[in-house]
Amino acid sequence: MVSGDPYTLLYDAIVACFKRRDFKVIDWAEASRDPQQDILTESDYPEFQIRPSGLTGQIGDTSSTHAIKRTFQLMLNTGDQRLKTLAFPMEWKITQALYELKYEGLENLKFKGRNFVLTTEINSAQIGISDPVLNRGAIGWSALWDIEVTMSFAKGDLI
């Protein structure tokens, strides 16, 4: 994971965490311009995506630091309407990965030689049956988690 910017380092670390746990991650940072398939087959499920969803900042948070919050949406598409087949087991695997990200994964990331992730907050998750029109024909349990990562940068990081 070599990158010239902390946002890519962060995204790559989140993707790597889920790939280590054998998730079929649609990686939006891959070489392909459109990594999401138009037509899904049974072997494509469960499908998992990590999408950046927001960015807010406090440039000049203090006289020497600048706080940035980056939010991500974690999207699970099971393609299956049976709760015990994929939905609940996949939600549990996601819970385990989120624990790793919060307590063991992201705080060790370094940019310009110093740690930059302060906190990782796992916010609410919405769960329901997917809309086949919006979900490329798939009907099944879907879930959407919101996570927020607070980062801190010194003035030298931004110049």
**Tokens 């490329």 — which residue?**
136
Give tens-digit pLDDT for 74-118: 998 888 888 888 889 999 999 999 999 999 889 899 999 999 999
The answer to the question of residue 34 being in a domain is no
* Residue 16 predicted with pLDDT over 70: yes
Residue 137 has a CB neighbour count (10 Å cut-off) of 12
Give tens-digit pLDDT for 30-75: 766 665 666 666 777 788 889 999 999 877 767 778 899 999 999 9
The answer to the question of residue 36 being in a domain is no
- Give the residue numbers spanning the domain of 19: 6-28+42-158
The enclosing domain of 145 has a CATH number of 3.30.2000.30
The answer to the question of residue 1 being in a domain is no
Tally of domains in the chain = 1
For residue 76, give every residue at least 6 positions away whose Cβ sits within 8 Å of its Cβ, in sequence order, or none. 46, 47, 48, 90, 91, 94, 141, 142, 143, 144
Q: Is 2 left (phi over 0), alpha (psi -120 to 50) or beta?
A: beta
Model pTM?
0.85
